[in-house]
């Protein structure tokens, strides 16, 4: 959500999908130039594209319905998938498979995106056949639209089962069960309509890597973050050659310092108790492990601030809690009684604006947590690559940007990147549908099993 929504407003309207082939044609035409101009991506490759070509062939022949369940580490992911559809799939298909063009997919997107990215994004998403969803509640209008597109849309579906970006190419956030549920709903709709098409969910991995290791750019960014957080300036690296050996201690020191500042902030002004007994007693002495414990305590405290204001119980993982806080905030800002704002008195409008302003302020704590939901204290140590180091540094940059009130979604570009997309083995929903439809318990278990299998499949594609 935008950080400048301070006024109570009418409820968020559903943006119905309204696919326009001319809009898609323009997007496909401009996409390569847009990627070169707006992103650090210089090369996009894909493995197992022939699997996708065959799936599109079967889809166009009326034999299957399928959904692409893709990894979502960055906001650049939609550009990569569009490139896959417009460039790579047709290229492989020309080697012997006749496909009807254009190759495309309906997609599910977060209804909040047009709030921070601009209303024009909602218009474009609609004309590209996208359908929005409000993630923090049972959005029946959005679910019905996605369900209709899955069973009857002109194209297959695409969605990110993680629900949001986590900034990490090699860690998958816990998957939301909605993708599996949509698959079973599609199988159910086809069965009721007497259609014998098979329903599949196709895992798709997306992984970013740097063309050249951008250690100097990382060192410069670290210096900027150190200065912003009040740490002393570090002398230039000897020989002006930065490396993980010289930068990792600085990153740990920065992370520890930021944690200390935030712990003081929440302890003094929000009366939270954050001291970890294992750290106080010296039971945990490893810096990485101590960071992990302190970070989890801080994230929990920050979310509690939001949850207590909105009278929410802290249930589920961090992702689940963030989504509930987000929806509660939306309910305070986008209100049914503000549909006809002219019918309200000036006092009612002023009180509504005050509630909206405070709700937005309380959601700020949740936005901080949102950036760290997948962060562990051992991500770099387990595999000390420049990619992992850069991703962690950028997450700290995002945190500091939020603290300073800057736009946290416009991340710095540290260096040119290449992308590897990997198409995984399809998961059959139709094979599991007989068990799903037995009773409510078996349906719930089937959804959980597919979600777990999809999580493992996506992990295997890293």
Q: Tens digit of pLDDT for each residue in 54-81?
A: 999 999 999 999 999 999 999 999 999 9
Is-contact 71 172, C-beta < 8 A? yes
Q: What is each CA distance from 341 to 37, 332, 347, in whole angstroms?
A: 42, 15, 12
The residue written with tokens 């973050």 in the block is: 225
What number of other Cβ atoms are within 10 A of residue 290's Cβ?
18
Domains and CATH numbers, the chain: 21-211+417-460 (3.40.1130.10), 215-404 (no CATH)
- Are 363 and 136 a contacting pair, CB within 8 Å? no
Cα 453 from chain centroid (whole Å): 20
Q: Give the Å distances, CA to CA, from 194 to 147, 190, 271.
A: 17, 6, 60
The count of C-alpha atoms lying within 13 angstroms of the C-alpha of 86, restricted to the half-sphere facing its C-beta, is 16
Would you give the DSSP letter of residue 71?
-
| Residue 249: pLDDT over 80 | yes
Contact between 182 and 198 under an 8 Å Cβ cutoff? The reply is no
Taking all residues of the chain, what is their mean pLDDT, rounded to a whole number? 91
pLDDT reported for residue 164 = 85
Q: To which residue do tokens 């400048």 refer?
A: 4
Contacts of 373 (CB under 8 A, 6+ apart): 166, 173, 299, 317, 318, 319, 322
* Tokens encoding 420: 């590897």
Consecutive H or E run containing 69: strand 64-70
Task: Enter the tokens of residue 12.
Answer: 């968020």
- The pLDDT, as a whole number, for residue 4 is 47
- What is the pairing mode between strands 198-210 and 41-47? unpaired
| Rounded Cα–Cα distance for residues 200 and 4 (Å) | 41
Contact 347, 136 (CB under 8 A): no
Confidence band for 278, pLDDT divided at 50, 70 and 90: low
35 φψ region: left (φ > 0), alpha (ψ -120 to 50), beta (else):
alpha
* Closest alpha carbon to 450 in 69, 52, 51, 50: 69
**% the chain with pLDDT above 70:** 95
Does the model's pTM come out above 0.75? Answer: yes
Closest alpha carbon to 139 in 366, 334, 367: 334
Rounded Cα distance, 158 and 144, in Å:
16
The C-alpha atoms of residue 64 and residue 53 are separated, in whole angstroms, by 13
Span of 84-88, 198-202, 230-234, 432-436 with lowest mean pLDDT: 230-234
Q: How many CB atoms sit inside 10 A of residue 13's CB?
A: 11
Tell me the three state secondary structure of residue 418: strand
Dihedral, 325, 148, 449, 444 alpha carbons, nearest 10: 70
**pLDDT tens by residue, 383-432:** 999 999 999 999 999 999 989 887 766 789 999 999 999 999 999 999 99
The predicted-structure confidence for 115-173, as pLDDT tens digits, reads as follows 888 889 999 999 999 999 998 788 899 999 999 999 999 999 999 999 888 889 999 99
pLDDT digits over 120-134, tens only? 999 999 999 999 999
**Could you report the per-residue pLDDT of 288-299, keeping only the tens digit for each?**
888 888 899 999
Residues pairing with 198 in the sheet: 64
Rounded to whole angstroms, how far apart are CA atoms 158 and 70?
A: 7
Peptide bond into 102 cis (omega under 30): yes
Asked if the model's pLDDT at residue 241 lies above 80, the reply is: no
Side-chain half-sphere CA neighbours of 317 within 13 A: 10
Looking at 87-96, 177-186, 248-257, 372-381, which range is the least confident one? 372-381
290-330 pLDDT tens trace: 888 889 999 999 999 999 999 999 998 888 899 999 999 99
Quick check: 2 pLDDT over 50? no
Q: Quick one: tokens of 124?
A: 């474009």
Tell me, what's the pLDDT at 300? 93
* DSSP tally for the chain: helices H, then strands E: 18, 8
CA distance 331 to 10: 10
What percentage of residues in the chain have a pLDDT greater than 90? 74
> Rounded CA gap, 2 and 115, in Å?
6
Task: Report the candidate in 75, 71, 85 with the shortest Cα–Cα distance to residue 203.
Answer: 71
């Amino acid at each position: 959500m935008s950080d400048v929504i301070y006024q109570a407003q009418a409820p968020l309207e559903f943006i119905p999908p309204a696919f326009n082939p001319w809009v898609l044609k323009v997007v496909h035409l401009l996409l390569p130039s847009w990627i070169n101009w707006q992103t650090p991506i210089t090369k996009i490759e894909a493995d197992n594209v022939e699997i996708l070509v065959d799936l599109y062939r079967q889809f166009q022949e009326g034999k299957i319905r399928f959904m692409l369940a893709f990894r979502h580490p960055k906001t650049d992911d939609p550009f990569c998938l569009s490139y896959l559809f417009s460039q790579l799939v047709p290229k492989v298909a020309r080697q012997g498979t006749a496909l009807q063009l254009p190759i495309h997919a309906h997609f599910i997107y977060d209804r909040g995106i047009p709030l921070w990215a601009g209303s024009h994004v909602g218009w474009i998403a609609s004309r590209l056949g996208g359908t929005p969803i409000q993630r923090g509640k049972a959005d029946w209008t959005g679910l019905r639209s996605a369900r209709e597109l899955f069973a009857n849309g002109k194209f297959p579906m695409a969605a990110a089962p993680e629900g949001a970006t986590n900034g990490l190419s090699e860690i998958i956030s816990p998957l939301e069960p909605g993708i599996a549920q949509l698959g079973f709903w599609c199988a159910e709709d086809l069965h009721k309509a007497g259609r014998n098409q098979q329903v599949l969910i196709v895992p798709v991995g997306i992984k970013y890597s740097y063309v050249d290791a951008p250690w100097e750019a990382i060192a410069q960014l670290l210096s900027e973050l150190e200065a912003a957080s009040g740490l002393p300036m570090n002398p230039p690296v000897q020989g002006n050659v930065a490396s993980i050996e010289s930068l990792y201690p600085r990153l740990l020191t920065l992370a520890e310092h930021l944690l200390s500042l935030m712990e003081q902030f929440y302890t003094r002004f929000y009366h939270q108790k954050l001291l970890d007994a294992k750290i106080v007693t010296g039971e945990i002495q490893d810096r990485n492990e101590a960071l992990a414990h302190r970070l989890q305590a801080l994230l929990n405290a920050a979310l509690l601030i939001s949850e207590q204001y909105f009278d929410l119980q802290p249930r589920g993982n961090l992702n689940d809690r963030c989504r509930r806080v987000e929806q509660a905030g939306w309910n305070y800002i986008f209100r049914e009684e503000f549909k006809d704002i002219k019918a309200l008195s000036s006092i009612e409008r002023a009180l509504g604006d005050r509630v909206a302003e405070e709700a937005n302020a309380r959601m700020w704590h949740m936005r901080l947590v949102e950036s760290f939901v997948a962060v562990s204290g051992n991500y770099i140590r387990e595999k000390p690559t420049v990619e992992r180091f850069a991703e962690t540094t950028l997450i700290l940059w995002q945190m500091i940007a939020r603290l300073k009130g800057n736009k946290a979604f416009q991340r710095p570009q540290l260096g040119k990147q290449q992308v590897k997309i990997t198409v995984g083995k399809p998961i059959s929903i139709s094979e599991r549908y007989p068990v799903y439809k037995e009773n409510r318990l078996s349906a719930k278990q089937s959804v959980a099993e597919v979600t777990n299998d999809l999580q493992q499949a996506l992990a295997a594609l890293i």
